[in-house]
Chains A and B, each alone.
Chain A
Amino acid sequence: MERAKQGDARAYGELVLRYQSLAARAAYLVTGSAADAEEAAQEGFVKAYYALGRFRAGAPFRPWLLRIVTNEAINRRVSARRHVTVALSEAEDRPSGDTALSPEEAALAGERRALIRDAMAKLRDDDRVVIAYRYFLDLSEAEMADALQVARGTVKSRLSRAIGRLREVMDA
């Protein structure tokens, strides 16, 4: 990080390699489009590069990058006026041990996933982002605070509010 901050393009390239998967996933969760996610992630890395001078020494890079990429992704989603519907895999469910779900259980689990996904698509961007950070990208509370630029105590309330709105949509 420090070498990248000093203008070492190779060091920054290593950061891109390390975080490109995370950035692309975050952008995909926001845009629901592979093409837009790719562009948003790329543009986010470029913007982050040019903003390295403002990056606080010793701060974690991951949430800072995610904030930039997420904002870029939101801008693209808004421009495209697209609902965010992420694709779901058809991977077999094995929630515990090696025991596969029964066909009925698998069908119910699949239905539940689609229900939540569709409900998330109807959320506001800021609610969807806070849920994505926590449950999809596994950010810690501290990382979420950095990424959202809020106090750590605010993260819980933001998440709780987003979950509440998700429930409202699901129950509607």
Chain B
Amino acid sequence: MPDRPRMSDAELESALGDLARHVAYPPTPELAGRVAAEVARPQRRRRPWLFALAPAVVTLLVIGVGAAATEIISLRGIQIVRVPASAIPSATPSNAPCARPNLDLGTPIAPEFKGRIDVGFTVVEPRGTLLGDPAERYLREGPTGKQVSFVYAPNQRLPEAVCGVGAIFMELRGQVDQALLGKAIGPGTTVQNVKVGGASAIWLEGAPHLFFYRDAQGNIFQETVRLARNTLLWERDGVLLRLEAQLTRDEAIAVAESVR
């Protein structure tokens, strides 16, 4: 036992206050910029709180601002989960004159890439006349495998969604057993179960949104949706297909049903 006199409660409290005033805190770091950069990074974020959600299915997360309750809309092998507000990108496509944003679709590939590049699944394309022929094709290595994207220029029936781009059609293989695929939407966006060729599909109409992917290890990655426009999602032979364009629901479904 030390020979110091025992401090009273009041003395100890006072001593703690004195100690608090003498802590030599490090200089306050400038965190605002770094935090902003972190949250803006695509594919960055794991969401451990989502791990409890249906691990055996591909899950779509729809994050609606202000939504108080969780709502689950089931689709074959896919669930949309509406949860309260989250980070919603605010980028708004601009009218001409414009600069095309970086769509981050990957590496441009030649029109004749099919059969030459193994992407791990059979690549399909819309065959209808609404989109016309793709203007560009891209290959990207995503967290859960290769992703193929087709970019379509605006035309008389296809409004410009962002500078010089009318639509994007993307396809990727989802890791159905272990991967989590999510999509976030903002206020004013509606979610609807629809049919594509008799199969279930999801129609998202409205504001910008985010995607979340889950890899085989259960990690979740965030990725911004490129056009932040109406989006149709459906499955075909184990491949998740996504059409982003400023089209009506029926137009988008018609495009989806033309996919071969």
Which positions in A face B, CB cutoff 8 Å?
5-9, 12-13, 16-17, 20-21, 23-25, 28-29, 34, 37-38, 41-42, 45-46, 49-54, 86-89, 91, 95, 109, 112-113, 115-117, 131, 135-136, 163, 166-167, 171
Alpha-carbon distance A150/B87, docked complex (angstroms): 29
B210 (CB) vs chain A CBs: closest residue: A7
Residues of B within 8 Å of A, CB-based: how many? 46
Which A residues are in CB contact (< 8 Å) with B85? 5-7, 52-53
Pick the contact of A34: B22, B26, B47, B66 (CB < 8 A). B26
Alpha-carbon distance A100/B35, docked complex (angstroms): 43
Which positions in B face A, CB cutoff 8 Å?
1-2, 4, 6, 9, 12-13, 15-26, 28-32, 34-36, 38-40, 45, 47, 49, 63, 65-66, 83-90, 186-187
Contact yes or no, A7 B35, CB < 8 A: no
Pick the contact of B22: A23, A25, A89, A171 (CB < 8 A). A89
Pick the contact of B90: A7, A131, A135 (CB < 8 A). A7
Contact yes or no, A86 B23, CB < 8 A: yes
Contact yes or no, B32 A13, CB < 8 A: yes
Contact yes or no, A28 B25, CB < 8 A: yes
Alpha-carbon distance A112/B7, docked complex (angstroms): 10
A29 (CB) vs chain B CBs: closest residue: B23
Alpha-carbon distance A7/B90, docked complex (angstroms): 8
Contact yes or no, A116 B19, CB < 8 A: yes
A47 to chain B, nearest CB (A): 9
Contact yes or no, A20 B28, CB < 8 A: yes
Which B residues are in CB contact (< 8 Å) with A117? 19
B51 to chain A, nearest CB (A): 13
Alpha-carbon distance A31/B26, docked complex (angstroms): 12
Known A46-B38, A53-B63; contact A88-B15, beta-carbon cutoff 8 A: no
Contact yes or no, B86 A7, CB < 8 A: yes
A-B contact pairs, 7 of them (CB 8 A): A7-B87, A16-B31, A17-B32, A53-B83, A53-B84, A53-B86, A136-B23
A50-B47, A51-B49, A116-B16 given. 4 additional CB < 8 A pairs? A7-B86, A20-B32, A29-B23, A50-B87
Alpha-carbon distance A113/B24, docked complex (angstroms): 12
Residue from B19, B24, B34 whose CB has the most chain A CB atoms within 10 Å = B19
Which B residues are in CB contact (< 8 Å) with A12? 35-36, 39
Which B residues are in CB contact (< 8 Å) with A8? 90
A76 to chain B, nearest CB (A): 15
B31 to chain A, nearest CB (A): 4
Which A residues are in CB contact (< 8 Å) with B13? 135
A54 to chain B, nearest CB (A): 6
Alpha-carbon distance A95/B19, docked complex (angstroms): 12
Contact yes or no, A21 B28, CB < 8 A: yes
Alpha-carbon distance A38/B30, docked complex (angstroms): 9
Contact yes or no, B28 A24, CB < 8 A: yes
Contact yes or no, B6 A171, CB < 8 A: yes
